[in-house]
Structure 1
């Protein structure tokens, strides 16, 4: 049993003691002999609902040399995440179609006794005899094979949606459901858009849209691209998809969630759509808040991503969109690649960086220390809003204490005594801890980040899933 004394509740400022009755030994990830039992002075710590990331790539099946479900889950737990949404650009793609022997990634799926990559990921823990230290849901492809030619067939995956004949489902179907439609990595194509919208309407799922399309270019179009001698990507490649899909939301009423928005033009369009009352939401990522295309000169391909890092003015517009509420949530777009792949140069290197293990520190440094938002708003962006998008109810600490206001006397929250302990997912934070990002200490299998060596503030110290401790760096040397 672990007791945290005098910890601050994130949204009420109340000081309480928290009793964590048990450690989930099967899932536990422990850093540097971190404390997992006894009493800890937690007066410098904050308790909050666990972070949720609506946008991760775990490369499993098909590219586990970059990241597996196991290494990705460990990275998530280390970053304070209790829930993640896995994007469908795996090999095989998550489209519900049967694997065909000889296709990339098919052997992993078929040799496990599964027919589809969807089934493989839902049954992953049973197949591999592991319990992952993060809860996860799945996004299904908008198009078959993510090829953009033919919309995916709901008959192949709609039975995996929450509420669809839940009583007949196995535990792994209930625990790892389909909660969204996306062709992330690519925007939904004109050829498949209308049918994808009909599929979203019929199933009640959100369309999560990679709101950017370009056929050429590698970095943001502008002076930096010219200095590097690399073809550029204009900012309006993002605006074109955003405007198209806002019109789709207006016509159909489908909830469309825009991923990794990065330009002032797109934020203006989304801001107007929200003012109109349309069902649109959006996210941005830590790298668009912390970096701009000028940083390509310093970090090289470790800062190459899609959409690309934009201008310094777009970076400031992104921060402003967080501050004024246009941005609903923050997502990492955790995208693992090998060092060899990233060494291919700007034209040939793959897009993306990893982000789960330093997202809180980077965002805290830029947004909270920068004076744009407060601690409470950052937790709303990283926990409350994304949890709801991926179909989870964020744990309400104040409700567990049966109050929504501050109390004059400290009380004890015993996680063994709550009504539904299996639904309690929490993160313990040190909001003032200064630390240096060191990718060599990451739990991810990948190291592709531009934030190596950054000094940031704010560190997740422990992650709790189902009232049990699954990750701890409490008292560990950082």
Structure 2
């Protein structure tokens, strides 16, 4: 049992005592914090667990970069209680039966599963592990994510909530398919109408990689010319954003734009929202903390897609967060080996990892920078992404009203709540100063430009289903 005294409720400011009755010791790192005891938690905050609708865990097919086990442990370390896994697994997550001999197929077939969705929904059972984070799945918009033929709902509808519920087991219900995307590339023009029809038919929402380019490796501008690297113009993003806004207007389908990075795209999204169109968007910590000038210091560790944009675009990203144009923050956690990232700008893969330092980086830039409050940052990292994913974030104040409605100083005892299995929380030190050290990450990967950064704000513990799954409380 872990007792935290004098902890602050994130949205009401009430000071309470909190009792966490159990811990899952299997998910505690060797150098982690305590999982039981009585502690003075003055200065700490309890909030609904973070949610990230944009992660890549490389399992199956590229587990040398990241596995479900290492990715989920990294998420718990970062205060996340729910993530959405993107479909660029190997084989791709398109619902089709994998073929023996194909890359990554052995992992799926050896587990006794038919396709990647089946494999990931039953991962804990077939591997006999308990993962310290909840996760949803995102199905491919096109077969094999090749952009040639739309994925067939007949291949994946059976995996969705609400379809043939009698035939589903607890594992499938726990890890639902909730979105559709070809993340890594925008849905190709010839398939967009069919994909949107599939979205309507299934009840999913489209997560759009709002950027397309055939050449280039970094943002087009003075930095690309100084590096001697082909540039990617900023309108490669706007073209997809504008195209899809028109489709949202035409069809009424909810479209969510990933990792928006340019001022001109934010302007278009701002206008679409003012019109009442079903548009939402996210950006990532690296677009608000870095710009293309940082490539001169960090090199390919800061190569990503969309690329880091100009300093002016970085400020526009922060402004879009401050004025509410940005609905939520997502990491786009993209593990690669350092050997892969050292290949040079033309050959190195895109992406950085982010789950374990996202809160600290965002807090340093946004809260310490005076742009938003602590409460607003939690909304962007927890409440809004949870709702996008179709989940209900834990309401701490409501739990208190049920368990201790009249006490002068109330105690939230998680063993006394009506549905403890639904309680997902993050314990935060919003003012802790710490230094990002990738060597201490629980992810297998180390590809981040934030190593050595001095940040503030740190998740100290993560609770899923009223069970402590991660702790660095001392």
TM-score range (shorter-chain normalised) is over 0.9
How many Å separate the matches in 1 of 2:165 and 2:322? Answer: 40
Q: Encode CA deviations 1:79-122: one digit per residue, 9 max, x unaligned.
A: 00000000000000000001011211111111111110110111
User: Is the contact between residue 292 and residue 310 of structure 2 (CA under 8 Å) also seen in structure 1?
Assistant: yes
Q: Encode CA deviations 1:355-390: one digit per residue, 9 max, x unaligned.
A: 000000000000000000000000000000101111
Q: Which residue of 1 aligns with 2:5?
A: 5
User: Is the contact between residue 31 and residue 472 of structure 1 (CA under 8 Å) also seen in structure 2?
Assistant: no
Structure 2-normalised TM-score? 0.98
Q: Write the mapping of 1:238-249 to structure 2, written as runs, cut at 5 A.
A: 238-249=237-248
Q: Write the mapping of 1:99-114 to structure 2, written as runs, cut at 5 A.
A: 99-114=98-113
- Does the alignment pair 1:363 with 2:362? yes
Deviation, structure 1 residue 409: 2.3
Runs (4+) off by over 4 Å: none
Q: Write the mapping of 1:329-340 to structure 2, written as runs, cut at 5 A.
A: 329-340=328-339
- Does the alignment pair 1:259 with 2:284? no
How many Å separate the matches in 1 of 2:77 and 2:32? Answer: 14
Q: Which residue of 1 aligns with 2:434?
A: 435
How many Å separate the matches in 2 of 1:267 and 1:181? Answer: 22
How many Å separate the matches in 2 of 1:33 and 1:100? Answer: 41
Q: Which residue of 2 aligns with 1:390?
A: 389
Q: Encode CA deviations 1:257-281: one digit per residue, 9 max, x unaligned.
A: 0000000010000000000000010
Q: Which residue of 2 aligns with 1:81?
A: 80
Q: Write the mapping of 1:137-148 to structure 2, written as runs, cut at 5 A.
A: 137-148=136-147
Q: Which residue of 2 aligns with 1:15?
A: 15
How many Å separate the matches in 2 of 1:201 and 1:25? Answer: 42
Deviation, structure 1 residue 166: 2.6
Q: Write the mapping of 1:41-440 to structure 2, written as runs, cut at 5 A.
A: 41-402=40-401, 409-440=408-439
Deviation, structure 1 residue 33: 5.0
User: Is the contact between residue 117 and residue 159 of structure 2 (CA under 8 Å) also seen in structure 1?
Assistant: no
Moved more, 407-416 or 433-442: 407-416
SS of the counterpart of 1:157? helix
How many Å separate the matches in 2 of 1:43 and 1:276? Answer: 45
TM-align CA RMSD: 1.4
Instruction: Return closer, same or farther for 1:22/1:125 CA change in 2, 3 Å cut-off.
Output: same
Deviation, structure 1 residue 408: 8.6
Instruction: Return closer, same or farther for 1:314/1:408 CA change in 2, 3 Å cut-off.
Output: farther
User: Is the contact between residue 67 and residue 336 of structure 1 (CA under 8 Å) also seen in structure 2?
Assistant: yes
User: Is the contact between residue 245 and residue 256 of structure 1 (CA under 8 Å) also seen in structure 2?
Assistant: yes
How many Å separate the matches in 2 of 1:113 and 1:132? Answer: 20
Moved more, 198-207 or 107-116: 107-116
How many Å separate the matches in 2 of 1:34 and 1:448? Answer: 25
Structure 1: which 5+ residue stretches go unaligned? none
How many Å separate the matches in 2 of 1:56 and 1:378? Answer: 19
Q: Encode CA deviations 1:115-154: one digit per residue, 9 max, x unaligned.
A: 1011011111111110100000000000000000000011
SS of the counterpart of 1:416? helix
Instruction: Return closer, same or farther for 1:407/1:334 CA change in 2, 3 Å cut-off.
Output: farther
How many Å separate the matches in 1 of 2:257 and 2:7? Answer: 36
Moved more, 9-18 or 158-167: 158-167
Q: Encode CA deviations 1:268-317: one digit per residue, 9 max, x unaligned.
A: 00000000000010000000000000000000000000000000000000
User: Is the contact between residue 387 and residue 394 of structure 1 (CA under 8 Å) also seen in structure 2?
Assistant: yes
- Does the alignment pair 1:469 with 2:454? no
SS of the counterpart of 1:62? coil
User: Is the contact between residue 30 and residue 473 of structure 1 (CA under 8 Å) also seen in structure 2?
Assistant: no
User: Is the contact between residue 14 and residue 407 of structure 1 (CA under 8 Å) also seen in structure 2?
Assistant: no
Q: Encode CA deviations 1:38-97: one digit per residue, 9 max, x unaligned.
A: 101001100000000000000000000100000000100000000000000000000000
Instruction: Return closer, same or farther for 1:408/1:264 CA change in 2, 3 Å cut-off.
Output: farther
Instruction: Return closer, same or farther for 1:164/1:402 CA change in 2, 3 Å cut-off.
Output: farther
Deviation, structure 1 residue 165: 3.1
User: Is the contact between residue 47 and residue 429 of structure 1 (CA under 8 Å) also seen in structure 2?
Assistant: yes
How many Å separate the matches in 1 of 2:166 and 2:99? Answer: 30
Deviation, structure 1 residue 178: 0.4
Deviation, structure 1 residue 167: 3.6
How many Å separate the matches in 2 of 1:356 and 1:237? Answer: 27
- Does the alignment pair 1:38 with 2:37? yes
How many Å separate the matches in 2 of 1:101 and 1:31? Answer: 38
